[in-house]
Chains A and B, each alone.
Chain A
Amino acid sequence: MLRAGCQLFNPSTVAAAKTGSNNFALEFVRWRRKPRWLPVAKSKVFRVPERKKQSEEERTELMRLHNNYKTQLRSVRQYLREEVVRQQETSTADHIVFTPEQEEAEFQRCLEVNAAWNAQIAKEREVRLAKEREEKVAYIQERIEAGKLRAEEQRERADQRIRHEIEQSKTFITRDNLDAAIETALANPVDHNYALDLEGNMLRGRTTQSLTS
């Protein structure tokens, strides 16, 4: 309304208004009266829209046209179907016709070819499986050897450690030589402090007088 008011009158605008389309062929349904998801209004729930009145003549005319159309379509379809059936019965275009003996022979030939293929593939498979088996056996053997070697080394290390500890155990302090060990320790104080000079000499002890000597 507003747009029509502010535009100059021309025939195309009238035509567009009549056909429900504007100049740009765009129809927005965004700002309608209410959103699409709202239900029917309470006051309109029980309203039954009135059916369009159809006169008797109009109804019979429409029925006649409908029947004509349906009959013609049915006859065309039947004709086409019969043609296809006839074509299939008489033509040998897409398949070769065999006698039963020929068919049996063809089937036997197919069986033979299939058996030959199977035999060849079985041979290849046996070779492959044998190779895989050998590889697996070799791998397992190698792992077993490696495991034995590892266990041997571990045992050797443990034995060495035990021998070392047995050797060390001679110097362990027991209840018997405890007094003597304490006496020795108190008599010999140790000092782990040291200093390095530029020549790389290690000067042990915190009270060592190297400069004076």
Chain B
Amino acid sequence: MPSYELALVLRQLPRPELISVIKRTAEAIFDKGGIIRKFENLGTRALPFKVSEHGVVHREATHFTITFDTAPTKLSDLKEEFGRDIDIIRRYIFKVEEPEDYECTLHEEMLPPAYRKDVQELIDIAKRKQKPKYNYNSGLDYYPFQK
């Protein structure tokens, strides 16, 4: 089962009700045969803009994420169920990707152009494309080829 992250934007609620909303959401995931890996509370903050959902205008909200595993076929059911919950303002499900491993090459990139490897490759290509040229100081006092 792939890992997903559910980002919830919840209505401003007193603590017991907030707990019950999260519990309801978690139970829904369990009912669909999912596994919950992690809860994260991102705090209660003002929304960037006013949001009208389920007939109510919201200006502040609690942000909460749930990392869980479930079958991809169950996602639409989960979305539908969370869409019906009037305490949830916004719900997004993201797939958790393996973190990309990369090396920092800033030192090479900060070198002067002549020392950079990619620039040296470009110069090599240009040298390969150059035609052989006649040397004028080779002893002949005339140009031996057709001009």
A interface list, Cβ under 8 A from B:
168, 171-175, 178-179, 181-186, 188-192
* Contact residues, B1-36 vs A (CB, 8 A): 15, 18-19, 22-23, 26-27, 30, 35-36
CB distance from A187 to the nearest CB of B (A): 8
**One of B22, B37, B43 near A189 (C-beta < 8 A):** B43
List chain B residues, Cβ under 8 A from A178. Answer: 23, 26
CB distance from B40 to the nearest CB of A (A): 5
Q: Is B41 part of the binding interface, using a Cβ–Cβ cutoff of 8 Å?
A: yes
A171 to B18, CA, bound (A): 23
**One of A168, A173, A186 near B19 (C-beta < 8 A):** A186
List chain A residues, Cβ under 8 A from B23. Answer: 178-179, 182
List chain B residues, Cβ under 8 A from A182. Answer: 19, 22-23, 26, 39
A175 to B27, CA, bound (A): 8
Q: Is B123 part of the binding interface, using a Cβ–Cβ cutoff of 8 Å?
A: no
Chain B interface main SS type: strand
Asked if A172 and B43 make an inter-chain contact with CB atoms under 8 angstroms apart, the answer reads no
The 3 A-B pairs of least Cβ separation, nearest first, read A185-B39, A173-B36, A189-B43
For B, the interface residue count at a CB cutoff of 8 angstroms equals: 18
CB distance from B19 to the nearest CB of A (A): 5
Asked if A191 and B42 make an inter-chain contact with CB atoms under 8 angstroms apart, the answer reads yes
Asked if B37 and A172 make an inter-chain contact with CB atoms under 8 angstroms apart, the answer reads yes
List chain B residues, Cβ under 8 A from A168. Answer: 37
CB distance from B31 to the nearest CB of A (A): 10
Asked if A190 and B41 make an inter-chain contact with CB atoms under 8 angstroms apart, the answer reads yes
Asked if A190 and B37 make an inter-chain contact with CB atoms under 8 angstroms apart, the answer reads no
A168 to B69, CA, bound (A): 12
Closest to A178 in B: B26
Asked if A181 and B37 make an inter-chain contact with CB atoms under 8 angstroms apart, the answer reads no
Q: Take A172-B35, A172-B36 as given contacts and tell me if A186 and B41 are in contact as well, using a CB distance cutoff of 8 Å.
A: yes
A97 to B38, CA, bound (A): 107
A-B contact pairs, 25 of them (CB 8 A): A168-B37, A171-B37, A172-B35, A173-B26, A173-B37, A173-B39, A174-B36, A178-B26, A179-B19, A179-B23, A181-B39, A182-B19, A182-B22, A182-B23, A182-B26, A184-B39, A185-B22, A185-B40, A186-B19, A188-B41, A189-B42, A189-B43, A190-B40, A191-B43, A192-B42
A178 to B36, CA, bound (A): 10
A189 to B44, CA, bound (A): 9
A168 to B23, CA, bound (A): 22
List chain A residues, Cβ under 8 A from B22. Answer: 182, 185
CB distance from B34 to the nearest CB of A (A): 11
**One of B30, B38, B39 near A175 (C-beta < 8 A):** B30
List chain A residues, Cβ under 8 A from B41. Answer: 185-186, 188-190
A190 to B42, CA, bound (A): 5
List chain B residues, Cβ under 8 A from A184. Answer: 39
Closest to A188 in B: B41
List chain B residues, Cβ under 8 A from A179. Answer: 19, 23
A103 to B19, CA, bound (A): 114
CB distance from B26 to the nearest CB of A (A): 6
